[in-house]
Amino acid sequence: MTSRPEPDAAALADHVLDVVGGRADATVSVQRVSDGLTRFANSFIHQNVGDEHTLVTLELVNNGRPAAASTSMVDDASLARLVEDALTAASVRPVDPNWAGLCPPAPQHFNGVHYDPDTTAVGPDERAGVVEGFVEAGAGLESAGYCQTTTVETLLVNSLGQRVSDRTTQAIIDGIHRDGRADGCGSVATSSFADLDGYQVGSTAASRARAGTDPIELAAGRYEVVLDPRCVAYMMDFFSIYGFNARAVQEGRSFVSVGEMQMDPSVSIWDDAGDPRHFGPSYDSEGTPKARLDLVKAGLTVGVTHDRRTAARSGAASTGHAVPGGASMGALANNLFLGPSSTAGVSSEELVAGVQRGLLVSDFWYTRVLDPKTLVVTGLTRNGVFLIEDGVVGPAVSNLRFTQSPVAALAPGRVLGIGNDASLAPGGLHFSWNHAPSLRLEHWAFTGTASG
Amino acid sequence: MMDEAVAAVEAALGAGAAYADARVMLTRSEAMSAQNAEIEDMRRAESTGVGVRALIGSSWGFFAVADLSPASVRRAGERAAETAKASARVAGPALELAEVPSVVDHWESACGEEPLSVSLSEKGDLLVAVTRASLASGARLAQASYRIWDTDKAFASSQGSRISQRIRECGAEMSATAVGDSETQRRSYPGIRGQYGTQGWELVRSLDLPANAARVGEEAVALLSAPPCPEATTDLILGSEQMALQIHESVGHATELDRILGWEAAFAGTSWLDLAQMGSLRFGSELMNITADATLPGALGSFGYDDEGTPAQRVDIVRDGMWVGVLSGRDSAALAGIPAGGMVRADGHDRIPMVRMTNIGLLPGPHSLEQMVTETSDGILMDTNRSWSIDDRRLNFQFGCEIAWEIKDGRQGRMLRNPTYTGISPKFWGSMDMVGGPSELTYWGTPNCGKGQPMQIGHTGHPAVPCRFRGVRVGVR
């Protein structure tokens, strides 16, 4: 057995292509990951983990019959087995009538936008320093959360000659402070570890937790709301998977109808992997280079996300949104932005000032789809809800259950204001991080209190 | 594999760990999916590596590498200890470990028909045939899939345990979706998450997907024109598949000791349960008996030893309606002053083991589904989970099902669409007055339970029977 103790991504990929030879059309992806994550709870670090691995994925097509295989073993024998496994699988399956061919050679539009070499050198000591700042900011409050640093090097080659590569880094601090049963949250996600200020993020979380004590119970019903960026980013995962995904549209499962005014004219939604405020690679899992894609322009639905299969079905071009396993999932946007279509947005204080009676919501929790087509979802609030009266934030409110379509909530005429506080925050289905501002919405349907 | 695990443990000890263990894993997996009589995706995967855990003071350090060369394995052990040491900057009380015996053993799950040896063409033919049948019955989208995992593990601890295991898991699922003007309706079989177990391909054969393919298609279409579930407070009968979800979300997660201790507060959440009340708190009616049993043959949450080397065992969680037990590992059990529950697992060599449900199930009772229907004058029967949402303390839930039927005067009547119900956990479980019998028991398997950071996908089992609950709020939208 010949081993490669320090596998070079390009050499690995070329080697696998060579082993496939002329027996099939092939795409080889190599992903090298170095990940470190420091978790804290009850105000101390309790789990501190790291992982390094290389993953080689082969997708090949033999006479119209595709199959895929992957391995974390990079010795010659394992790579030969990878190829034979995929060839064997392809040989016994029926022809795939939806196979859309390999990605042809195409240049990347950007590269290395989300890479910070200093972040690659960060270890558990530096992450512990960020956690220390977060915990200290609570000044005695109970804290929990994590700090993560990740470096990913990727390379994709195929037998048509497409060859793309990228390097990305991520650095995240995300946590809560707790004052009794009142939680407040804060997070920063970026490509550069130097941007993480644990104390500042912890201060935000702590002030929200302190403001959330002694909540009042509020009856269920429709309330005007100001949703923090975290709430809006949370809902954008649902847009990506159930909405703008061309496969969902083609199968009649999506609310999306291109050419219709489906959202308020003040709102635009787009996907842009090249924007430095986001993170992730510059090409998709089929090798198609990513570029900015408008999905909603001033309320008008103008686009959907395609991979090569859905694009072929629609007579369109791939938009670079293929994901691993996409033959059954479809094409997904994972660099989403929501923002004002014309004006610059206003401060969150100005959004609140316009509300006569409503709710300021910090975060959502455990939200799931009741109907994919209307995108009615149910979930709960978390990490702080506050009553707004006469434009002033008042007492904390106990958590509420909601049953609401976020599409309907953003419908024409229902967006009353957009904040200038956009930030990257986690999506509600753990699919992606999304960039979103605060939104003031005409109403949000709360269908129960957390106590019953 | 064991040599590499032992070398990693020795390296961690040499670097200062007070305790260390290591798992070397080799996992082979296969998955295939079909839609509308076409194979859509077929993939195989192989992964290997070692994950080393080192305990120093109040923190676990963990490091994983895929490269199993001697130098790489040693380095993983050292990095695990170094990572644990770094935690001292934000330290807490030192962790202790509950005692477990040192074991040298090998364990394998029973497997009748090697799932990876069944021909791909046979598997593909099955998926194509059942989706074709669902499609023919009127569904717009007919989907079917199977997944197989074959895992070898070698575990070594600094306390002398040397345990090897081989666990084979597989299962399958199918669904039919009908698309209307304003909504979609879906029917799944055997359930929304399919049915999975620590068994061979005989499990998939026993599901008899072909016999159910047309029915799910017809029901999906019929649901589009069915009346909606009314908004009411009424008696609710749940089929066993939905009961599995109910148990998973409102009992399984609520009784995870790491949640109760606050270790998952930021991400997965906490629990409404207070450890001081264990033994004296009423969780549900006297018919409620829940166990965590990792020894059930063929169930998805079964194994010989958990990923800390603790033997599989059965632990009472709720007995006669009283909360009496938790899901624990060695560190959390030591803090709680109880024996280690043997419920710590990781989803791969590259993830740190954490408290995980084994087979959390409701013991059968004295009734039957037929009896529940007969003895209900006004109520609703719901089955097959469709949506699930529960608060971060696992107290307030709202669940939706794919299908429901009206119950009037002891008879199952018309079909209802978009059924949902909501409740508060102890009040809901306290209203349970009928529990299905042993002949209705199914070991449901859930292969997609997310928890932890980085996220881990756990495989859990949920033995369940149909049950009746009184005075439940339904039809919430």
Contacts of B25 in chain A (CB under 8 A): none
Query: Quick one: B238 and B340 in the same domain?
Result: yes
Query: Quick one: B408 and B440 in the same domain?
Result: yes
First to last CA, chain B: 53
Q: How far A419 CA sits from the closest chain B CA (Å)?
A: 26
Test A40 with B90 for CB contact under 8 angstroms. yes
**Is B352 part of the contact surface with chain A (CB cutoff 8 Å)?**
yes
| In contact, A417 and A346? CB cutoff 8 Å | yes
Query: Quick one: B240 and B219 in the same domain?
Result: no
Cα angle: A42, vertex A47, A48; to 5 degrees: 130
Contacts of B348 in chain A (CB under 8 A): none
* Residue keyed to tokens 């950007």: A110
Query: Quick one: B165 and B246 in the same domain?
Result: no
Residue A306 lies in a domain: yes
Residues of the domain holding B384: 232-474
DSSP secondary structure of A205-242 = HHHHHHHTSSPBP---EEEEEEE-HHHHHHHHHHIIII
Based on the structure, what is the number of domains in chain A?
2
**Is B29 part of the contact surface with chain A (CB cutoff 8 Å)?**
no
Contacts of B177 in chain A (CB under 8 A): 253
Query: Quick one: B177 and B280 in the same domain?
Result: no
> Cα–Cα distance between A112 and A106 in angstroms, integer?
17
> Cα–Cα distance between A284 and A307 in angstroms, integer?
9
For A48, which of B65, B84, B450 is closest by C-beta distance? B84
* Residue keyed to tokens 């309320």: A299
The torsion angles phi and psi of B298, rounded to 5 degrees, stand at 85, -10
Contacts of B179 in chain A (CB under 8 A): 251-253, 373
Query: Quick one: B312 and B185 in the same domain?
Result: no
Query: Quick one: A158 and A224 in the same domain?
Result: no
Q: Which of B78, B89, B179, B449 to mutate to test the interface with A (most CBs of A within 10 A)?
A: B89
Based on the structure, what is the number of domains in chain B?
2
pLDDT digits (tens, 9 = 90+) for B229-240: 999 999 999 999
Q: How many CB atoms lie within 10 A of CB B10?
A: 17
| In contact, B86 and A123? CB cutoff 8 Å | yes
Q: Parallel, antiparallel, or unpaired for β B19-35 and B290-293?
A: unpaired
Query: Quick one: A220 and A346 in the same domain?
Result: yes
A 172-191: CB under 8 A from B: 174-176, 178, 185
Query: Quick one: B219 and B260 in the same domain?
Result: no
Last residue of a domain, one of B189, B209, B225: B225
A 70-129: CB under 8 A from B: 70-73, 78, 81-82, 85-86, 88-90, 92-94, 96-98, 123-125, 127-129
Residue A392 lies in a domain: yes
Q: How many CB atoms lie within 10 A of CB A443?
A: 16
Q: How far A101 CA sits from the closest chain B CA (Å)?
A: 14
Last residue of a domain, one of A207, A242, A273: A207
Q: What is the pLDDT of residue A92?
A: 86
Q: Which of A35, A44, A250, A431 to mutate to test the interface with B (most CBs of B within 10 A)?
A: A44
Query: Quick one: A198 and A252 in the same domain?
Result: no
Residues of the domain holding A64: 9-207
Query: Quick one: A405 and A433 in the same domain?
Result: yes
Residue A304 lies in a domain: yes
Query: Quick one: B254 and B189 in the same domain?
Result: no
For B352, which of A47, A85, A125 is closest by C-beta distance? A47
Residue A3 lies in a domain: no
Q: What is the pLDDT of residue A6?
A: 56
pLDDT digits (tens, 9 = 90+) for B363-395: 999 999 999 999 999 999 999 999 999 999 999
Q: What is the pLDDT of residue A4?
A: 41
Query: Quick one: A299 and A418 in the same domain?
Result: yes
> Cα–Cα distance between A318 and A316 in angstroms, integer?
7
Last residue of a domain, one of A172, A207, A242: A207
Test A382 with B388 for CB contact under 8 angstroms. no
Query: Quick one: B448 and B348 in the same domain?
Result: yes
Q: What is the CATH number of the domain that holds B94?
A: 3.30.2290.10
Residue A4 lies in a domain: no
**Is B41 part of the contact surface with chain A (CB cutoff 8 Å)?**
yes
Q: What is the pLDDT of residue A452?
A: 62
ipTM: 0.94
Last residue of a domain, one of A156, A180, A207: A207
Contacts of A374 in chain B (CB under 8 A): 182-183
Contacts of B264 in chain A (CB under 8 A): 41, 144
Query: Quick one: A151 and A277 in the same domain?
Result: no
Query: Quick one: A242 and A182 in the same domain?
Result: no
Torsion on CA atoms B395, B400, B403, B407, rounded to nearest 10:
50
Query: Quick one: B92 and B170 in the same domain?
Result: yes
Q: Which of B30, B47, B62, B67 to mutate to test the interface with A (most CBs of A within 10 A)?
A: B67
**Residue contacts between A and B (CB atoms, under 8 Å):** 277
Test A66 with B42 for CB contact under 8 angstroms. yes
Conformational region of residue B269, where left means phi above 0, alpha means psi within -120 to 50, and beta covers everything else: left
Test A328 with B33 for CB contact under 8 angstroms. yes
Last residue of a domain, one of B225, B242, B265: B225
Question: 3-class DSSP state for residue B145?
Answer: strand
Contacts of A251 in chain B (CB under 8 A): 140-141, 179
Query: Quick one: A232 and A169 in the same domain?
Result: no
Query: Quick one: B195 and B258 in the same domain?
Result: no
For B41, which of A174, A327, A450 is closest by C-beta distance? A327
- B195, B208, B205: which is closest to B169 by C-alpha? B195
Residue A61 lies in a domain: yes
Average per-residue pLDDT in chain B?
97
Q: What is the CATH number of the domain that holds A158?
A: 3.30.2290.10
Q: What is the pLDDT of residue B377?
A: 98
Contacts of B124 in chain A (CB under 8 A): 92-94
**Is B128 part of the contact surface with chain A (CB cutoff 8 Å)?**
yes
Residue A1 lies in a domain: no
Query: Quick one: A159 and A266 in the same domain?
Result: no
Query: Quick one: A223 and A372 in the same domain?
Result: yes
**What angle in degrees, to the nearest 10, is found between the helix axes of A9-20 and A76-92?**
50
Q: How far B475 CA sits from the closest chain A CA (Å)?
A: 11
pLDDT digits (tens, 9 = 90+) for B189-218: 999 999 999 999 999 999 999 999 999 999
Per-residue pLDDT, averaged over B290-310, amounts to 98
Query: Quick one: B279 and B195 in the same domain?
Result: no
Query: Quick one: A197 and A221 in the same domain?
Result: no
Q: Which residues of chain A have pLDDT under 70?
A: 1-7, 450, 452
**Is A447 part of the contact surface with chain B (CB cutoff 8 Å)?**
yes
The β-bridge partners of A63 are: none
Contacts of A54 in chain B (CB under 8 A): 66
Chain centroid to CA A238:
10
Query: Quick one: A268 and A132 in the same domain?
Result: no
Contacts of B92 in chain A (CB under 8 A): 42-46
Torsion on CA atoms A9, A15, A21, A27, rounded to nearest 10:
-10
For B41, which of A70, A325, A374 is closest by C-beta distance? A325
A 118-157: CB under 8 A from B: 123-125, 127-129, 131-132, 135, 142, 144-146, 148
**Is B411 part of the contact surface with chain A (CB cutoff 8 Å)?**
no
Q: Which of A6, A47, A70 to mutate to test the interface with B (most CBs of B within 10 A)?
A: A47
Residue A225 lies in a domain: yes
**Is B79 part of the contact surface with chain A (CB cutoff 8 Å)?**
yes
Last residue of a domain, one of B170, B194, B225: B225
B 160-179: CB under 8 A from A: 177, 179
For B66, which of A50, A54, A448 is closest by C-beta distance? A54
pLDDT digits (tens, 9 = 90+) for B411-464: 999 999 999 999 999 999 999 999 999 999 999 999 999 999 999 999 999 999
